Structure 1
Amino acid sequence: MAKSPRAPAPSPRKAASAALRIIDEFCNLKEVHRAFACLHGLLSPIHRAPRYEEFSIEPGDLRALMAVINIELERRTEPVEEAIRSLRKALKAKVR
């Protein structure tokens, strides 16, 4: 019976590189999340003092800002997901 060809086991360096990539991309993702949280806090403060500043923000401006944040969030989420898939693949190949 012929043996099935196996892919060469990935080096620990490849798995470590994928793990570092996940960390880098996750840090990028956290920046966008901070921007989103900042905007959310601006729009819905927990405690309002009796004298608070009023903001002159148009709904269209907020929609545009939210659209940019959402696009950036998606853009930065994709590399994190790809890096996680790469790490899983590297670890799965190592286990075989």
Structure 2
Amino acid sequence: MALNRLTNWFNLSKQYFFTYKDGFFNLSFLSNSPELIVKSSLKMPFMGHDKDKQQLIVDTPFIKGECSYAELEKGLWVMSSKMFHKNNVSLSPIYDRF
């Protein structure tokens, strides 16, 4: 049980770091639900947020762009992104089992 929690904590901490392998920068994000994707993105220091437009704005050495989101009704989300990749980037989803 403790090993599972420790492994889960390690996986969740990946979202705050990036690695470089085979010519790609590997970036991870928490993705259990669309709402959690938005909430976890807001905690990143390089993410901007326009609450009125429901938009996340990112400008890093890796990516520049925006992601618009809307919850049309409970549980039904629409997300649209327009990104310019400045480098080779690999995005990896992370799931919280607990």
TM-score over 0.5 for the pair: no
Q: Which has the larger radius of gyration?
A: 1
Using structure 1 for the length normalisation, give the TM-score. Answer: 0.29
Using structure 2 for the length normalisation, give the TM-score. Answer: 0.29
Greater helix content: 1
Greater strand content: 2
